Structure 1
């Protein structure tokens, strides 16, 4: 496979679409925070679990990058401009967002070494305008909005039914609500929806022929499949 450019890149992109939402799901499962409980010392008291969770979340966003590039590569007839622009924004957003996961490790050390009030003040003071404007906002907006728009372009080109972008949007919104409220059902339900949606696209990518991947043959879904 390593000597076959089309097969390797197609498989890598497809596998990435499977692993990225799986890492998100596992990252939420391993997060030691308890639903409905706000404890500033939870990370300091569970450094191993936090390290595993933060690492999984980091690789979630990293692994989405080749997957998104693969989705954009397949959009060739309709929605090409949207796919190209959304893909570029998404890749930049994902790279920014993945870097933000390192703050969890600073949380561990600060709350272990300092009183809660002092540790919280340091974390708040670290949120400089440049960090928010150039790292946090591009990371979050670019990742979440970009993933939805890439999915829209993918469906617009006939590669999947319109359920695909709807599922991506629903999965992201449900996950964000669940994560912000520490709601276990929503926090895990969103990643499961994303795993189903992107897993579908990833499996189709893995199974297609090199000719389809290279654009030598049309690979749009049939009308019945698009309605599925």
Structure 2
């Protein structure tokens, strides 16, 4: 397969669409935070679990990149312009978002070495305007908006039903609400929805014939 460009790229893109939401689900499950409990020292007390969680979340965003490129590649005629614009937004957003996971490691050390009030001020002061405007906002908005729009373009091209973008949107909304509210059921439920919808598309991509993957049309 390594010598066949079409097979390798097709399988890699399809596998990425399965592995990305799986890493998101496992990363959320590994997070040591307790639902409904805001403990600023939880990361300092559980550095191993935090390291596993942050690493899985980092690779979730990274693994979505080849999957998005594969989705865009398969959009032809209908939805091409939307797919190209959405693909750029998604890829830049996902790369930015993956970089934000490094802050979890700084949380661990800050709360281990400093009093909680000082550590909290340090982390808050680190959120400089440039970091928020050029890293955080593009990461959050670009990732989620880009993934939904790529799914819309994919469905518009007739590659999947409209359940695909609807499922992507639902999974993201459920996950964001669950993560922000420290709700374990929703925090894991959102990634499960994403795993199902992206998994179906990813598996179909893996099972696709090389001829279908390679065919181009203006």
Question: What TM-score do the two structures reach when normalised by structure 1?
Answer: 0.94
Deviation of the 1:215 alpha carbon: 1.6
Q: How does 1:116-195 map to 2 (within 5 A)?
A: 116-195=116-195
1:31 corresponds in structure 2 to 31
Displacement over 6 Å in runs of 4+: none
Q: How does 1:55-70 map to 2 (within 5 A)?
A: 55-70=55-70
Per the alignment, in what secondary structure is the counterpart of residue 32 of structure 1? coil
Q: For residues 216 and 72 of structure 2, what CA distance do their matches in structure 1 show?
A: 16
Q: For residues 128 and 61 of structure 1, what CA distance do their matches in structure 2 show?
A: 23
1:226 corresponds in structure 2 to none
1:196 corresponds in structure 2 to 196
Per the alignment, in what secondary structure is the counterpart of residue 39 of structure 2? coil
Q: For residues 182 and 169 of structure 1, what CA distance do their matches in structure 2 show?
A: 20
Question: What TM-score do the two structures reach when normalised by structure 2?
Answer: 0.99
2:75 corresponds in structure 1 to 75
- Flag structure 2 segments of 5+ consecutive residues without an equivalent: none
- Flag structure 1 segments of 5+ consecutive residues without an equivalent: 218-228
Deviation of the 1:77 alpha carbon: 1.8
CA spacing shift, 1:106–1:122, aligned 2, 3 Å: same
Q: How does 1:40-51 map to 2 (within 5 A)?
A: 40-51=40-51
Deviation of the 1:216 alpha carbon: 5.9
1:222 corresponds in structure 2 to none
